């Protein structure tokens, strides 16, 4: 069964710290992986998309890496700010079911001023 | 650009009532999706459609039906709503070339 796991469910860090969010998936034959941000009561904002052939993608203070062999992706946030407080979700698609996209349960991030 | 449009944005139903959530995308995407999100949880896949004329069950399909009316539109129907279906529903479409998902703003459904 193809599954996506995000641990921890919640994380609180002081402003200015660099931090890493984790996304683990079963079945390493993924098609791609996408990271989203969701503010309370709002919709999803796409952050980064990594194709299976890529090792990482960067956008501003965000860097997402992909290690298919270990079934893991990490989202690195540099110099965290209170405005980064949100829930971060990862979504995975696999070659065996290329149109089926499964989400992790998310990590709720709180940045303390 | 409208992107992915969902209607209605809010709906209150009584147990046993039926309703349809509508979703349309104007990006010429082949694949479309319906997810539900419960408080404190991620998104769970209800149904998806890889292309016009096809639909497949996701993780939590029980109690729902879908119709891929044409390439643009993908509707989700609750035949007999139950309180357990109280949730926020998100529709999405996927770029066939990049695999990127695009989401609607969500529909908040309450079943009393």
Q: Tell which of A41, A87, A100, A108 to mutate to test the B interface (max B CBs under 10 Å).
A: A100
CA B51 to each of CA A1, A22, A23, B14: distance values in angstroms, whole numbers, following the listed order: 23, 32, 28, 33
| Euclidean distance between CA atoms B105 and B5, whole angstroms | 7
Interatomic CA distance for residues A16 and A13, integer angstroms: 9
Residue of A nearest to B47 (CA): A100
Q: Could you tell me the strand order of the sheet in which A4-5 lies?
A: A4-5, A19-25, A72-77, A62-67, A56-59
DSSP B52: T
A21-25, A75-79, A100-104, B38-42: lowest mean pLDDT where? B38-42
Number of other residues whose CB lies within 10 A of the CB of residue B74 = 28
Among left, alpha and beta (phi > 0; psi -120 to 50; other), residue B80 is beta
Between A and B, how many CB-CB pairs are < 8 A? 58
State the Cα–Cα distance between residues A77 and A48, nearest whole angstrom.
12
pLDDT of residue B1: 64
Read off the pLDDT of residues A38-89 as tens digits, 9 standing for 90 and up: 999 899 999 999 999 999 999 999 999 999 999 999 999 999 999 999 999 9
DSSP assignment of chain A equals ---EE-S-SEEEEETT--EEEEEEESSS-EEEEEEEEE-TTS-EEEEEEEETT-SEEEETTEEEEEETTTTEEEEEE-S--GGG-EEEEEEEEETTEEEEEEE---EEEEEE-
Query: Is residue B92 predicted with pLDDT exceeding 80?
Result: yes
Closest C-alpha to B36, from B70, B84, B4? B84
What is the pLDDT averaged over residues B68-94?
96
Residues 6+ apart with CB under 8 A from B23: B4, B5, B6, B32, B34, B73, B74, B75, B76, B91, B104
Share of chain B above pLDDT 70, in %: 99
Backbone angles phi, psi at A83, to 5 degrees: -70, -10
The whole-number pLDDT of residue A10 equals: 96
Are B101 and A89 within 8 A, CB to CB? no
Q: Is the pLDDT of residue A98 over 70?
A: no
Nearest partner of A92 among A4, A9, A1, A27, judged by Cα = A4
Interface residue of A94, A101, A108 to substitute, partner B, most B CBs within 10 Å: A101
* Nearest residue to A72 (alpha-carbon basis) of A107, A26, A105: A26
Question: Which chain B residue has the Cα nearest residue A38?
Answer: B42
Q: Do B41 and A106 touch (CB under 8 A)?
A: yes
């Amino acid at each position: 069964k193809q599954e996506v796991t995000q641990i921890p469910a919640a994380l609180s860090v002081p402003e200015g710290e660099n931090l890493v969010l984790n996304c683990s998936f079963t079945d390493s034959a993924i098609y791609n992986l996408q990271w989203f941000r969701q503010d309370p009561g709002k919709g999803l904002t796409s952050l980064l998309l990594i194709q299976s052939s890529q090792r990482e993608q960067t956008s501003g203070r965000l860097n997402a890496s992909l290690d298919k062999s270990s079934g893991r992706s990490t989202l690195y946030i540099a110099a965290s700010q209170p405005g980064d407080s949100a829930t971060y979700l990862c979504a995975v698609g696999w070659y065996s079911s290329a149109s089926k996209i499964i989400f992790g349960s998310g990590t709720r991030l709180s940045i303390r001023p | 650009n409208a992107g992915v449009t969902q209607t209605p944005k809010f709906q209150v139903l009584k147990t046993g009532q039926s309703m349809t959530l509508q979703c349309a995308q104007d990006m010429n995407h082949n694949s479309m999706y319906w997810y539900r999100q419960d408080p404190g949880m991620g998104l769970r896949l209800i149904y998806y459609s890889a292309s016009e004329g096809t639909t497949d069950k996701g993780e939590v399909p029980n109690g729902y039906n879908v119709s891929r009316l044409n390439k643009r539109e993908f509707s989700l129907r609750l035949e007999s709503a139950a309180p357990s279906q109280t949730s926020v529903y998100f529709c999405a479409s996927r770029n066939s070339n990049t695999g990127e998902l695009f989401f609607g703003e969500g529909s908040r459904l309450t079943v009393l």
